[in-house]
Amino acid sequence: MPYRKFFAVTLLVGILIGALIACSSPSAPPATSAPAATSAPAATNAPPPSGGKSVVNFYTDGDTNISDWIANKVKPAFEKAYPQYELKVTTVRGVGNGVADIAARAQAAMQTGADPQAEVFDWDPRGRPEYIQAGVFEKLSPANVPNAKNVPEAYYLSEYGMPYRGSQVLLAYDSSKIPDNEVPKTFADLVTWVKAHPGQFVYCRPDKGGSGGNFVVRALYEVTGKDPKIFQSADPDPKILAEFPKAWELLRSMHDSIYQNGSYPAGNNPVLELLANGSVSMATVWSDQSRQALDKGVLPPTIKVVQFTDLPMPGSYAPLSVVAGAKNKQGALDFVNFMLSVEEQTSVVKDIGGFPAIEWKYLPQDLQTQFTSVITNNVPYWPGGKWSTERDKGWYENVATNIKQGSP
């Protein structure tokens, strides 16, 4: 067949095939308005004309329980609510500098106008302020994340990170040994109880686990006016540091009454083990770890958890951050909004034992009833960094003088 005739036939076949495909493809549904803030949001963007899905690249270097939850629970739920998107979950835990390396890639892409191949990070960008200053991250607020209006103001740590799950250090006790009406309600009550029940209370070393570290922080709050806000700055205030010896004196007064006359486990899990085997009847624990341990039967059902009523122990909220130069920025914002829906915040509590980032009042009544002993909108924040360095050094030198810092 001559070349021109072959080309004409090929072109005609291509046109006919294209017409058939166009006739058989469903039309794109119109975009919907923003959903109610207290329910799982509907799709806000129409699917691409080709019927394909736009990708929302999500990066996390969180623990296995978080990455598994995102991949196995959150991903299918998000893609069902937003059928025009595909959530691509990439775990970079233990790979180089984790999410920080992806942020560096996003900055490089921004400078060249390239696609950063990243939309959402399970990461707090405050740890690398140079990226914030360079404009890598999008500011997040109810203006672009409607469900954020249900997030208490106290949970916000930065306008570049939207809190989506939390955890807090609680007081755990064995209700088969301690009547509910005898459980300490304040930090001062706990100090009295520990001295009256030697060997029955334990917390871990502050540099080995947050359940111990935040307990020591609570002692620092106790002697500095119970105002966590004074610890917001990055560099410790010498006037506040001058008050720390009062906390060391308070904790030292409990030392001989701690488990085995001052034996402090090297981590959060060893504390749970002591509770589980009955070696102690009270301890400080993370809310999410203790909940998961109870659900899995690692802790006996007699273990209960409570908050201090005067000032709770510190905790933290994990934020989501959005890349400003993301190719699919609307998809990223839709995902963050989805994570703040009632359904996903309920999943935070039920599936990973975390605290919700929205107010408890929006969650199902049965959950509110179940967690009435720990519900609070007051989760004191500890800035870490140099403050933690001073905390740990002072604790080893003045409280646990029987343990060398850095020992296993």
Contact 78, 335 (CB under 8 A): yes
Nearest CA-CA partner of 227 in 236, 215, 240, 216: 240
Per-residue pLDDT, 47: 42
Helix, strand, coil shares, percent, the chain, to 5? 45, 15, 40
Burial label, 291 (beta-carbon count in 10 A; 0-12, 13-18, 19+): buried
Give pLDDT tens digits along the chain (408 positions).
443 333 333 333 343 333 333 333 333 333 333 333 344 433 344 344 345 899 999 999 888 888 999 999 999 999 999 999 999 999 998 898 899 999 999 999 999 999 999 999 999 988 788 999 999 999 999 999 999 999 988 888 789 999 999 888 999 999 999 999 999 999 999 999 999 999 999 999 999 999 999 999 999 999 999 999 899 777 899 999 999 999 999 999 999 999 999 999 999 999 999 999 999 999 999 988 898 899 889 999 999 999 899 999 998 889 999 999 999 999 999 999 999 999 999 999 989 888 899 998 999 998 888 777 676 667 788 888 899 999 999 999 999 999 999 898
Q: Which residues pair with 161 in a beta bridge?
A: 158
| Closest to 149 measured CA to CA, from 357, 304, 318 | 357
Q: What's the burial of 299, exposed, middle or buried (CB within 10 Å: 0-12/13-18/19+)? A: buried
**Cα–Cα distance for residue pair 27/242, rounded to 1 Å:** 69
Which residue's entry shows tokens 């069902």?
80
Report how far apart the first and last C-alpha atoms of the chain are (Å, whole number).
82
DSSP state of 75: H
Strand partners, 167: 316
Encode 107-121 in three state secondary structure.
HHHHHHCCCCCCCEE
Give the per-residue pLDDT at 373. 64
Joined tokens for residue 350: 């039920």
The pLDDT, as a whole number, for residue 127 is: 79
Which of left, alpha, beta for 32 (phi over 0: left; psi -120 to 50: alpha)?
beta
Rounded distance between C-alpha atoms, residue 312 and residue 377, angstroms: 10
pTM of structure? 0.73
In sequence order, what are the residues at sequence separation of 6 or more whose Cβ sits closer than 8 angstroms to the Cβ of residue 352? 65, 66, 69, 165, 288, 292
The DSSP H or E segment spanning 88 is: strand 85-91
Let me know: does 60 contact 75? Beta carbons within 8 Å.
no
What pLDDT sits at residue 377? 65
- Cα dihedral 155, 290, 215, 175 sign: positive
For the record, the structure tokens of 384 come out as 């870490």
Distance between CA atoms of 402 and 400, rounded to whole angstroms? 5
Q: Hey, what domains does the chain have and what are their CATH numbers?
A: 54-165+317-370 (3.40.190.10), 167-316+380-398 (3.40.190.10)
Backbone angles phi, psi at 315, to 5 degrees: -155, -160
163: closest CA among 175, 179, 178, 147? 147
**Using CA atoms in the order 299, 317, 136, 59, what is the torsion angle rounded to 10 degrees?**
20
- Beta-carbon count within 10 A of 141 CB: 14
173 bridge partner residues: 282, 304
State residue 51's pLDDT score: 54
Tell me if residue 244 falls in helix, strand or coil: helix
Instruction: Determine the 3-state secondary structure of 57 from DSSP.
Output: strand
